[in-house]
Structure 1
Amino acid sequence: MSARAVTEATFEQEVLKNDKPVVVDFWAEWCGPCRAVSPILDAIATEHAEKIDIVKLNVDENPGLAMKYQITAIPAFKVFQGGEVVKTVVGAKPKPALEADLAAYIS
């Protein structure tokens, strides 16, 4: 299972109305660190599928959401729970560091 893409059209249903915590990966095609962290997110999505959803949002294709959530640097990850942002993580990190950041939602 890998992180699935969301858009401005699907964001409310996939993220804001989700029963589980959702990590939104704000990324762009041209961003090297974004591409580097992608397989790590896919692995976390697979290993913790019952506890958390991970989705990807392309900031170039969805500028309205990037602006709404004040994305100024990518990759940026926002954890949504009950339709609200409960945590923000900025920058590519190795898997153990990302799992530590997400420990409250995946353990």
Structure 2
Amino acid sequence: MELSAIDRTFLAAMAQDDGPSNMSELTARLQVSPDYASQYRLRLIAAGMIGAPTRGSVDFALPYLREYLRGTMPRRSGSEATRSRWCPCPRGADASSAAPSVIRNVRDSATFV
């Protein structure tokens, strides 16, 4: 499964947390409705990218994906970090460039980890 720009944005928002992400916090961070966030949560669970360890939370299913995403995201502070529909790409850049194509292959390479 190839990840959409919104899938990658959801994963990047999760990467900001040190452990499992609370869905209500993700919804607020992404500035989307709970129903909207839930649809992408379900997509990413079906793709095997994330899991739901407890009710109302999600966490990465692939080892070291959080660390990888943190290493590829630019650092931000203040309003730049919390702008509408947070995107892990520089201002003005296309959201589809938010994460390298390697993320599309993480699921396949997980068997080698």
More strand by share: 1
Q: Same fold (TM over 0.5)?
A: no
Structure number with bigger Rg: 2
More helix by share: 2
